[in-house]
Structure 1
Amino acid sequence: MAAPVMLEVREQRGPFGVFVKWVFWIFQGAMLLVTLGTCSLVGNFVSAPNPEVALGAGLFGTLALGVIWIVWPIGTLGFGLMVLLTRGRKRLIPRRRPRRPACRGPARPPDHRGIRQVPDLTR
């Protein structure tokens, strides 16, 4: 008899792992919204008729996006590492053998209901 086939499966995340995964995705969404919101907010002031306001808005936008572009990758690495560390454990389990159908006569041909037959037009 052959050795049983082993399947590698993961357990489900625990409550803390689920929480960390939600925090990771909320962080990604928040960073995206903050980036788009900054671009949207600064755009109104950059086109102001007063050059000092336009320059100040440009400097603010540059500074804000620079901070976001530093915080986003660092936060992604930190939360991503936590998401990886809170995964469920790997387990090896034996594969269940499929049940054999009861023998009730000859085997039926495969079901071809979804395939259209091409009509023979050579007759």
Structure 2
Amino acid sequence: MSLKFSKDHEWVNASNAEAAIVGITVHAQDALGDVVFVDLPEVGASFKQGDVAGVVESVKAAADVYMPIDGEIVEVNEALRDDPSLANTAPLAEGWFFKVKLSNSAQLDELLDEAAYEAFAKDA
């Protein structure tokens, strides 16, 4: 799986040409603590890179989920809505937030690879 990361602590898996999968990073869920609620975007909504696309709430805090790339929401993770703790137990797998049809795949090149993100997150 080829993951890219934003400095806002979202990850993107764009290995499927149809739609990229977006979620929050392990670092983000560690900082938040136990996730108790997620507000996911509407299917069909379009966002620009950096727009707020959702909210994640934990026992400690609420945090915005930022769109790491331009695109249109084509699917949301209903299992996550039903069981927000998936963001903690499987943030890079079953805890994904939404799928996005990319508008500008060149933006993926602006995101961090895993090593660069780990170095960034260590200081965050």
Greater share of residues in strand: 2
Tell me: higher relative CO, structure 1 or 2? Use CA pairs within 8 A at least 6 residues apart: 1
* TM-score bin (small chain): under 0.3
Greater share of residues in helix: 1
Determine which structure has more spread, i.e. the larger CA radius of gyration.
1
Scaled by the length of structure 1, what TM-score is found? 0.22
